[in-house]
Chain A
Amino acid sequence: MVKNFGALKALDRVNMEIPRGKITLLIGPNGSGKTTLMNIISGVYKPDAGKIILDGEDVTNLDTHERFRKGLVRNFQIPRLFQGLITLENVAFARYGNPGEGVISGTMKRRWFKFEYETLKRAAETITFTKIRHLWDKKPSELSGGQMKLLEVARSLMPDEPKIVLMDEPTSGVNPVLAHEIFQRIRDVNRKRRVTFLVVEHRLDIAVGYVDYAYAMAFGKVIAHGEPEAVLNDPRVIESYLGG
């Protein structure tokens, strides 16, 4: 995978294989290309060279919405919430396939009532889990930074049957107790529904207990990968964080 922004090599021949059914941690100092990689995998950016293979299928030329429909879900490091929608709607929107999403079918309530009811119920359960249930009728502008983050996490746990979920710093700005619970939940979803996760996280102390595999990046390159403990203790990784 190659991506340049002008003269900056954001991603310099990155090759990564994310093990199916596992939780993979992606670490690296600021500016090492983690978020760029997330944006390329999800289709927000197009790579300059390289391919993205999802479950054996080349999805490099698909739009973001087509990748989502193939089972690729992501969240955003800086929450991109829908400002006009309340918390419950923001989460409910993340479930795709509502038969009422047409300019004609939308007016026929009988066609979408059941799906909508299930969606709202699940959205309510999801925000209960992320502890923002009491904020269900608030718009994003009324939430604190941490609450927005929880809403963003709730959204990425909402879709039906994802194959892989990309989480970009799900616990930044969240208190440690809740951060553990979020990782616990990620692991629950992973174990019960066999969903693959790729998690970018700076809070290594919290994350390391929940992940199965790890990649480390620096200056747009993968510098180490393997067992989480081994990657964290790799001298190159330590140097990249400390030496900068």
Chain B
Amino acid sequence: MNIEFWIFSDTWLILVLSYFIVTLSLNLEAGYTGIPNFGKALFVFMGAWAAQGIGIRLAALFMQHYDPKDSSLLVERLNSMLGQNYHSLVEAAGSTEANRIVAPHIYDFLFAHPALDITLFIVILLVTLGLAAAMGLIASYAALRLREEYLAILLLSFSELVVMVIFNQTDSLNGGPKGLWAVEFYPDNRLFALILGAVISLLVFIYAERLGNSPMGRTMRAVRDDEVAAGVFGRDVAMTRLKVIMISSMIAALAGLVYIEAKPSAQTLTFNRVIWTFFPWAFLILGGMANNKGAIVGVLVFMVLKRFVEFYVPQMAAGHSAAIQMLAAYLSNIIVGLLILLVLYFRPQGVLPEKPSKTMDLDVVLEETK
């Protein structure tokens, strides 16, 4: 598939959808519950890893099991070609040298066996959610004990440590810096990612809206505003935070899965703090904290603006001095920063400010008690 409309493409659209998902999940934590999660990149990356390092090996395992003849033939050819000594297809699929050669064969195998393909997709979806929940549990261990600023710094460094150091430096986990090619589920992987992203975004939006307008939404905001008072009125603040972090982490990981399906060869450092932590924060601040529609508006405004700048400014800078071209290359980041400052100064509540939890028609209830 190749969608192009004006200066926007399908990959841009998929990135926007992924951002919807991450920003909505960040909104549940930061906007509603006041948990300053500066480690979003890590949770997003869990979805990518589920399809990359874990997914491609699982797919190889499927192929090895259901098509042993072709699998061993493939391994033999690889061994003679690369002068290696792989014992299994799983081992080859997980190695940095052979991964890119084996992956297309594995894709073809999956496309030819739809039942296995669907099963694998469901398994990877579950792995994504499971990994994110586990990471969320680790993160919430800190979240229950630290004050806001310390928690923000801790989550940021935790995310950096896991993605930039552990995953980026260990070849066996996700192929090191280059990253392993992720498993693909459909020949037109971008179409698949687009549909997956659209469906998940929609479901997450509905979920977030329902939760925000439920008694839980009210409790989350109470915990955010004054944890002592929330505790005095019987709410287990630690438990509330734990639940929110777990569910938000799972949602964020889905964004990683969507994104990696659009770009199966993405490098490990694609999942860095600027793109998957700071940008979602910027979207949320711009759009309005504790407002799900605000989160969507924030993503759209920012991403459209960014695309314009990235598309037109380099054209305008072409032929000028190196300094100007350099400035043009970084202009979108400068504008993002400037926009955050302006919003914080002139409209700290964001484009769409927070609204009461509309559990039901409050006017009507009030009218009835007259």
Q: A-contacting residues of B (Cβ < 8 Å)?
A: 207, 210-211, 214-219, 221-222, 224-226, 228-237, 243-244, 246-247, 290, 354, 356-357, 359-360, 362, 365-366, 368-369
| Pairs A–B under 8 Å by Cβ, sample size 6 | A85-B225, A100-B215, A103-B244, A109-B214, A121-B365, A124-B369
Taking CB atoms, residues of chain B closer than 8 Å to A109 are 210, 214
**Which of A84-125 touch B at CB < 8 Å?**
84-86, 88-89, 92-94, 96-98, 100-103, 105-107, 109, 112-113, 115-117, 120-121, 124-125
Taking CB atoms, residues of chain A closer than 8 Å to B236 are 63, 65
- A229, CB-defined interface residue at 8 Å: no
Chain A interface size range: 35 or more
Taking CB atoms, residues of chain A closer than 8 Å to B359 are 100, 112, 116, 120
**Closest-CB distance, A12 to chain B (whole angstroms):** 25
A84 touches B225 (CB 8 A): yes
Spot the interface stretch: A23-31, A52-60, A75-83, A197-205: A75-83
For residue B243, which residue of chain A has the nearest CB?
Answer: A103
* Chain B binding surface SS class: helix
**Closest-CB distance, A121 to chain B (whole angstroms):** 6
Q: Known contacts A64-B231, A116-B360; decide if A93 and B219 are in contact (CB<8 Å).
A: yes
**Closest-CB distance, A84 to chain B (whole angstroms):** 5
- A210, CB-defined interface residue at 8 Å: no
B356 touches A93 (CB 8 A): no
Q: Known contacts A94-B233, A106-B211; decide if A101 and B225 are in contact (CB<8 Å).
A: no
Q: Known contacts A82-B221, A121-B368; decide if A96 and B235 are in contact (CB<8 Å).
A: yes
**Closest-CB distance, B80 to chain A (whole angstroms):** 53
- A44, CB-defined interface residue at 8 Å: yes
- A196, CB-defined interface residue at 8 Å: no
Taking CB atoms, residues of chain B closer than 8 Å to A65 are 230-237
Q: Known contacts A85-B221, A103-B247, A120-B360; decide if A80 and B226 are in contact (CB<8 Å).
A: yes
A116 touches B234 (CB 8 A): no
Encoded as 1 (CB less than 8 Å from any B CB) or 0, chain A from 186 to 209 comes to 000000000000000000000000
B229 touches A107 (CB 8 A): no
Q: Known contacts A96-B233, A103-B211, A116-B215; decide if A137 and B226 are in contact (CB<8 Å).
A: no
- A4, CB-defined interface residue at 8 Å: no
B211 touches A107 (CB 8 A): yes
**Closest-CB distance, B171 to chain A (whole angstroms):** 37
B365 touches A93 (CB 8 A): no
Q: Known contacts A93-B222, A103-B243, A120-B362; decide if A112 and B214 are in contact (CB<8 Å).
A: yes
**Closest-CB distance, B132 to chain A (whole angstroms):** 14
